[in-house]
């Protein structure tokens, strides 16, 4: 299977399985994609709707149909000449619950578990209550309260002959070293005999085998006589009465886990999480053994030809992304003759590019989504919209200030444990040398916090413990900002930390007996995980070179760097994507994953420049919608229109706020903050304008109510993510219900002649321009250098909001029924049904199939536009061999449209022309979107009144459809 020319992302879950996807294969093939791009297929937590909470890397999810169904599906896909790209999650696993065997084993055996080094657990916590233990912060209330309420119960699994503690869905195995005590507590001769093999048991591997034999005897006993004798044991540890409850408490205190209230996680968690999600634990995939165990299934599926490539989730969560990509490619190359296809989920900051030394095809396309989104915006709207937002919110700061404030809050309230892990790793380095040992923990903590807070990108990628010049380009931004913000007394510590975080080679420790690893015992200390896999293996094996003082210093520095990078990445995501983007509301179409709202608009020159850079990765994905987007691609395209009518929109906001003032809660209360508040109200209006379906009538009570339900779900999530008056940790349910009541009040049927009519009327004005933006965005995604990616269902309108709204079931029957060979231009008059969008996707996928190289990797040539309306045209050519394609599109058209159709009247173009490259001036060009044929005039220019007379976009090619 060759590399993809176009992908289609499918979200698999128990409601949409491999067999369900197979039932739609005819449609997918007819649409024209070459590869289906599947959400994770490994076994996840039961009922998972996304698959990112893997609990078993070794099996295909039974809820999706199992490996047999996957292989049947893949066989049919390959029969069609198509392929499969599988999403894969090497960074974290789902924990808690009762289904992750690796995690349960470390709860049972602690740091001597066979899987102790599979997870990023700090077995040497400075907290004595956590030393050698795993924090399990899954209790709904204080530990003592839950224990007294009887919600923490000792139980027995007859099939596994295993004692365990259960709290709701969470299971924690009891270590077999306590089985003798448990069995003897019933004071029965038969159980006393069964206790024998467990007497004197330790957690060492040899004793684990002895415990297995004891379990076999216990299982045989239970099979023979039943569980009644065991019930006596359980009763003696029942928490219903004080004495057995105290006995249960003492038993729990001896385990390798500590049950805790879920709120303790932010301050005390001693293992790496995915962001701040306690149900997802970081995996040490940088270790050779863990890497092989994690990838065993996907390697087999790849070797067998079941899957044809991989999408790597959250690459920045790994200790060393570059090394991971190198090792992954090396392994894949040995399994198949064809070069492997690998893309990575990577958020790139403004001006940042994917590292050239990563052996991958490119990113999953957030960079393109940001570039094309900014290109749809009018830069003239930035200032008046900012002024309007400042007047509404009372805050005239740029987005960067919101993001910085959110970073400070995240470090203090959501990621303090992660910051502590970084600080302790750095402080251990300080203690190694006489010259730095008096550097205090507090001073290092202040420095690390400031560096992380001001870090301009997700993370850096040092090699062998040292930052490169490219790393320093970004690190120095944080360094200088920290230097300005820290007190003078901390600047010496800042210089030290700069060096320890890769600014200079490490000095050998004076005494390697107290190495930088901080490891005093067996099991899985954190330190070796940050080094490359070879160093990990040598350090673990006691290699003499690995035990030199310099090696210890190098490992300690690599550890600190990895921990710092594994802090800055989630900090950037949590502060920006999950907080600041819900607080700042100048224009929500620029509040998207991978975007910077301060980077408001892009010029044609800017977009040409990024497309030329994109040619360096011609197999990188081009996305405009994903399973993680904040707003659907067509919501953003419509909201971008507001940048063209900024003053009109500002006046509309004020009018609507006045119109709906009577529906606010607490508005008249003295000194009380009213609900939803000015900023939240303004963002709500933007959301309603953006997602209002084109065909929805204000008098359609059922339709408006269905929309209100969807927006209500978004509103609750938006308020909690903003973390201003409510949040996920301590929700203010009164405020939330008042905000939702406000929404339902303003959309109530009795408002049909008031706000509802005003809202629907405004949407009717901007929707045609938004549809034009959609068509331009669609064409750019399908003709720019790279591989276009379609998110499920977005061939028709995508007016979705943030998940779970963007993961709703797709009506494939409606899409299949609308798919035909008619030109998109023939469907433009009925644009509200979105068939013109579907036809545009279909036609351009057909062009890519006919000449894949032309649009994927062909030469990219910006074209010169001249005339009265030149600023409203974007044009470029693609060239490969003797084949040409010329792409011309209408942009910033709010002032050009006369009716309710997304098309500029030919006369409005006046003398505007596009100059063609010399190589295609003598050609006859076929427009794949209108089926018109154009003969290039002698001068080599095309008049826009001729080219854009049937569609607001044109894709002209020397290739014809026949």
User: For residue 953, what is the domain's CATH number?
Assistant: 2.60.40.1180
In tens, the pLDDT along 504-519 reads 998 876 554 343 333 3
Whether 863 is in a domain gets the answer: yes
Residues 908, 873, single domain; the answer is yes
Residues 122, 263, single domain; the answer is yes
Task: Respond yes or no on whether the N-terminal peptide bond of residue 676 is cis (omega within 30° of 0).
Answer: yes
Q: Locate tokens 């120095």: which residue?
A: 476
Residues 159, 268, single domain; the answer is yes
d(CA 340, CA 310) in angstroms, rounded, equals: 8
Whether 780 is in a domain gets the answer: no
d(CA 35, CA 29) in angstroms, rounded, equals: 9
**Do 143 and 261 meet the contact criterion of CB atoms below 8 Å apart?**
yes
Q: What is the pTM of this model?
A: 0.94
Whether 588 is in a domain gets the answer: no
- Quote the tokens at residue 542: 């006691």
* Sign for the pseudo-dihedral over CA of 288, 291, 293, 299: negative
Residues 203, 316, single domain; the answer is no
Whether 690 is in a domain gets the answer: no
Q: Which DSSP symbol is given to 12?
A: -
Residues 302, 419, single domain; the answer is no
Burial of 946 (0-12, 13-18, 19+ CB in 10 A): middle
Residues 491, 531, single domain; the answer is yes
Buried b (16+ CB within 10 A) or exposed e, 806-834: bbeebebeebeebbeeebbbbbbeebbeb
Using DSSP, state whether 791 is helix, strand or coil: strand
**Do 294 and 90 meet the contact criterion of CB atoms below 8 Å apart?**
yes
Residues 76, 118, single domain; the answer is no
Sequence-separated (6 or more) residues with CB below 8 Å from residue 894 = 641, 644, 645, 766, 769
Q: Locate tokens 């063609």: which residue?
A: 916
Q: Which residues of the chain have pLDDT under 70?
A: 1, 509-550, 669-671
* Sign for the pseudo-dihedral over CA of 814, 819, 822, 827: positive
Sequence-separated (6 or more) residues with CB below 8 Å from residue 236 = 185, 186, 244, 247
What is the Cβ-side half-sphere exposure of residue 176, based on CA atoms within 13 angstroms?
A: 32
Q: Locate tokens 């049904």: which residue?
A: 833
Whether 774 is in a domain gets the answer: no
| Cα three-residue angle 505-565-460, rounded to 5 degrees | 70
DSSP-derived pairing of the beta strands 153-157 and 162-167: antiparallel
d(CA 712, CA 918) in angstroms, rounded, equals: 55
Looking at 324, 345, 366, the residue that finishes a domain is 345
Residues 270, 332, single domain; the answer is no
In tens, the pLDDT along 870-895 reads 999 999 999 999 999 999 999 999 99
What is the Cβ-side half-sphere exposure of residue 401, based on CA atoms within 13 angstroms?
A: 4
Residues 109, 39, single domain; the answer is no
Using DSSP, state whether 760 is helix, strand or coil: helix
Residues 113, 256, single domain; the answer is yes
Looking at 552, 580, 608, the residue that finishes a domain is 580
Whether 563 is in a domain gets the answer: yes
Can you name the residues that pair with 46 across neighbouring β-strands? none
Sheet holding 309-312, edge to edge: 362-363, 341-344, 309-312, 83-88, 35-38, 7-10, 787-791, 621-622
CB atoms within 10 A of CB 921: 15
DSSP-derived pairing of the beta strands 941-943 and 273-274: unpaired
The predicted structure's pLDDT at residue 672: 73
d(CA 782, CA 849) in angstroms, rounded, equals: 12
Residues of the domain holding 213? 101-274
CATH number for the domain spanning 110: value is 3.30.1590.10
- Quote the tokens at residue 100: 């992750």
Q: Which DSSP symbol is given to 916?
A: P
Q: Locate tokens 């497309």: which residue?
A: 611
Looking at 274, 309, 324, the residue that finishes a domain is 274
Residues 440, 525, single domain; the answer is yes
Whether 34 is in a domain gets the answer: yes
The predicted structure's pLDDT at residue 507: 83
Phi, psi of 466 (to 5 degrees): -125, 140
Whether 114 is in a domain gets the answer: yes
**Do 467 and 503 meet the contact criterion of CB atoms below 8 Å apart?**
yes
DSSP-derived pairing of the beta strands 309-312 and 341-344: parallel
Residues 428, 492, single domain; the answer is yes
Phi, psi of 17 (to 5 degrees): -95, -175
Number of domains in the chain: 4
């Amino acid at each position: 299977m060759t590399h993809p020319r176009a992908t289609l992302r499918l979200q698999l879950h128990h409601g949409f399985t491999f067999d369900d996807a197979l039932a739609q294969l005819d449609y997918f093939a007819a649409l024209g994609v070459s590869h289906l791009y599947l959400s994770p297929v490994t076994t996840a937590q039961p009922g998972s709707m996304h698959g990112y909470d893997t609990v078993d890397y070794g099996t295909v999810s039974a809820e999706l149909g199992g490996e047999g169904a996957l292989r049947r599906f893949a066989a049919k896909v390959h029969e069609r000449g198509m392929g499969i790209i599988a999403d894969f999650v090497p960074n974290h696993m789902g924990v808690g619950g009762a289904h992750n065997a690796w995690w349960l084993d470390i709860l049972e055996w602690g740091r001597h578990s066979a899987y102790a080094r599979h997870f990023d657990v700090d077995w040497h916590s400075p907290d004595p209550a956590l030393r050698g233990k795993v924090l399990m912060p899954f209790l709904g209330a204080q530990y003592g309260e839950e224990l007294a309420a009887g919600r923490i119960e000792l139980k027995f699994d007859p099939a596994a002959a295993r004692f365990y503690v259960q709290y709701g869905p969470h299971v924690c195995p009891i270590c077999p070293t306590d089985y003798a005590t448990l069995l003897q507590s019933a004071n029965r001769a038969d159980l006393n005999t069964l206790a024998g093999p467990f007497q004197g048991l330790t957690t060492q591997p040899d004793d684990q085998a002895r415990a297995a034999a004891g379990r076999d005897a216990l299982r045989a006993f239970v099979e023979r006589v039943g569980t009644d004798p065991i019930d006596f044991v359980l009763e003696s540890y029942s928490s219903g009465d004080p004495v057995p409850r105290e006995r249960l408490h003492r038993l729990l205190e001896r385990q390798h886990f500590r049950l805790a209230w879920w709120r303790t996680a932010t301050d005390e968690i001693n293992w790496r999480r995915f962001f701040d999600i306690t149900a997802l634990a970081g995996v040490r995939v940088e270790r050779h053994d863990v890497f092989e165990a994690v990838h065993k299934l996907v390697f087999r599926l790849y070797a067998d030809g079941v899957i044809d490539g991989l999408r790597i989730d959250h690459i920045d969560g790994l200790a060393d992304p570059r090394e991971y990509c190198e090792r992954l490619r090396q392994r894949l190359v040995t399994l198949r003759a064809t070069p492997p296809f690998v893309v990575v989920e990577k958020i790139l900051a403004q001006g940042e590019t994917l590292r050239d030394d990563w052996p991958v095809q490119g990113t999953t396309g957030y960079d393109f989504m940001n570039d094309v989104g900014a290109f749809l915006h009018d830069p003239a709207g930035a200032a008046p919209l900012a002024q309007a937002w400042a007047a509404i919110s009372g805050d005239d700061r740029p987005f960067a200030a919101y993001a910085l404030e959110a970073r400070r809050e995240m470090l203090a309230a959501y990621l303090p444990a992660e910051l502590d892990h970084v600080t302790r790793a750095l402080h251990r380095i300080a203690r190694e040398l006489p010259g730095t040992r008096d550097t205090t923990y507090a001073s290092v903590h202040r420095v690390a916090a400031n560096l992380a807070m001001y870090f301009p990108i997700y993370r850096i990628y040092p090699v062998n413990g040292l930052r490169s010049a490219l790393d320093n380009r970004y690190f120095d931004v944080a360094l200088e900002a920290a230097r300005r913000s820290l007190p003078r007394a901390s600047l010496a510590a800042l210089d030290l930390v700069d060096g320890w975080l890769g600014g200079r080679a490490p000095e050998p420790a004076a005494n390697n007996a107290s190495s930088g690893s901080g490891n005093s015992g067996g099991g899985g200390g954190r330190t070796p995980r940050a080094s490359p896999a070879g160093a990990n293996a040598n350090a673990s094996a006691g290699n003499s070179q690995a035990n030199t003082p310099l090696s210890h210093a190098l490992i300690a520095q690599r550890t600190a760097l990895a921990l710092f990078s594994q802090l800055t990445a989630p900090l950037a995501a949590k502060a920006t994507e999950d907080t600041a983007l819900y607080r700042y509301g100048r224009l929500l179409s620029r509040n998207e994953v991978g975007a910077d709202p301060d980077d408001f608009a892009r010029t044609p020159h800017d977009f040409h420049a990024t497309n030329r850079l994109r040619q360096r990765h011609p197999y990188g994905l081009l996305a405009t919608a994903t399973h993680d987007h904040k707003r659907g691609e067509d919501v953003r395209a419509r909201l971008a229109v507001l940048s063209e009518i900024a003053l009109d929109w500002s006046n509309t906001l004020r009018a609507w706020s006045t119109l709906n003032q009577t529906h606010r809660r607490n508005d008249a209360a003295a000194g009380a903050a009213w609900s939803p508040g000015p900023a939240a109200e303004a963002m709500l209006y933007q959301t309603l304008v953006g997602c209002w379906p084109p065909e929805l009538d204000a008098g359609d009570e059922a339709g408006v109510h269905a929309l209100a339900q969807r927006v209500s779900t978004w509103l609750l999530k938006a308020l909690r993510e903003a973390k201003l008056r409510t949040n996920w940790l301590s929700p203010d349910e009164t405020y939330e219900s008042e905000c939702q009541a406000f929404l339902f009040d303003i959309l109530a049927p009795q408002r049909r002649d008031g706000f509802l009519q005003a809202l629907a009327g405004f949407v009717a004005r901007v929707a045609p321009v938004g549809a034009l933006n959609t068509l331009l965005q669609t064409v750019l995604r399908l003709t720019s250098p790279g591989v276009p990616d379609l998110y499920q269902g977005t061939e028709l309108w995508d007016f979705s909001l943030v998940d779970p709204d963007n993961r709703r079931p797709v009506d494939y029957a409606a899409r299949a029924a609308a798919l035909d060979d008619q030109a998109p231009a023939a469907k433009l008059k009925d644009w509200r049904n979105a068939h013109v969008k579907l036809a545009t996707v279909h036609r351009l996928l057909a062009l890519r199939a006919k000449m894949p190289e032309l649009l994927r990797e062909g030469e990219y040539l910006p074209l010169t536009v001249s005339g009265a309306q030149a600023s409203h045209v974007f044009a470029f050519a693609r060239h490969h061999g003797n084949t040409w394609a010329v792409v011309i599109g209408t942009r910033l058209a709010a002032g050009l449209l006369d009716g309710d159709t997304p098309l500029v009247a030919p006369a409005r173009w006046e003398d505007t022309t596009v100059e063609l490259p010399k190589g295609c001036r003598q050609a006859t060009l076929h427009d794949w979107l209108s089926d018109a044929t154009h003969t290039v005039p002698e001068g080599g220019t095309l008049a826009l009144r001729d080219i854009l007379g049937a569609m607001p976009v044109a894709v002209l090619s020397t290739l014809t459809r026949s």
